[in-house]
Amino acid sequence: MANTAATGTTPAASTVTPAADVTPAEPAPHPRAHRHALLRLGLLAAVLAAAAASLLLWDPTAVLAAATGPWRMPIALAAYAFGTVAFLPRPALNAGMGLLFGSLWGVPLAVAGSALGAIVAFTLGRSLGRDALRPLVRGKVLIEIDRRLSEQGFRSVLLVRLFPGAPFQAGNFACAFSGVRFWPYLAATVLGVVPTTAAYVIAGASASSPGSPAFLISASVIAAMCVFSAVSLWRARSRRTT
């Protein structure tokens, strides 16, 4: 014992944890900053609730039908984008664009409306909700989703948009709360919504002729996408339960 003390050596029985293995804990947010983040999150929830509740007071379809002249397309874009923020299902919005503008103009207008709605949702989520929700990301699944969106932004967002069963608004806010950059998010959104958008717009444009090739093909594509979504969700659920 005396020799050990004199030489300053450590007994063989004791172990020292290497400094490299110690993961420093994230500093706790300042209470005032945390309150401000929660207030912004509450404001985001209020804005979205107000947007959804406003649909009880006005009908986007009636607004589109009443729009005439050179303002018809800008009004359609604004109504479509607002509809996505207010949680209206995009298939219905796409079919409405097809009914009003046909396939030629309906598809680009619906894609542009999807992009505009995605920009609005991303801006709201990133500026109002991200600081409050990021510290709440827990669990392997949520951490992995956040990591993929942050590190493989374009590819991950593109896969989400191409998946027919993925709710559009949920994808918008998931991206806004993650670390994905804006331009990869927007580019992947525009590219990824084209297939599903085109199918529903063409179906809406040709709904008056249910026996036409355009309607039959678009309806078949929609049915195939629904089956693919259902099978994918069933397989994912089966993997989680096993």
Q: How far is CA 60 from CA 45, 63, 89, 114, 203, in A?
A: 22, 5, 13, 15, 19
pTM: 0.76
Highest average pLDDT, of 19-33, 52-66, 194-208, comes from: 194-208
* pLDDT at 15 > cutoff 70: no
> Contact, 99 vs 209, CB < 8 A?
no
* pLDDT at 12 > cutoff 70: no
Average pLDDT over residues 60-81: 83
| Predicted local confidence at residue 4, as pLDDT | 46
Judge residue 205's burial from the number of C-beta atoms within 10 Å of its C-beta, 0-12 exposed, 13-18 middle, 19 or more buried. Answer: buried
Residue 68: both structure tokens together? 């005439």
| Predicted local confidence at residue 138, as pLDDT | 55
Among the listed residues 36, 50, 105, the one whose alpha carbon sits nearest the alpha carbon of residue 82: 50
Judge residue 62's burial from the number of C-beta atoms within 10 Å of its C-beta, 0-12 exposed, 13-18 middle, 19 or more buried. Answer: exposed
* pLDDT tens-digit series, residues 141-193: 556 666 777 777 788 889 889 887 788 998 898 888 888 899 999 999 999 99
> Rounded to 5 degrees, what angle do the CA atoms 211, 215, 220 make?
110
* pLDDT tens-digit series, residues 46-64: 999 999 999 888 877 677 7
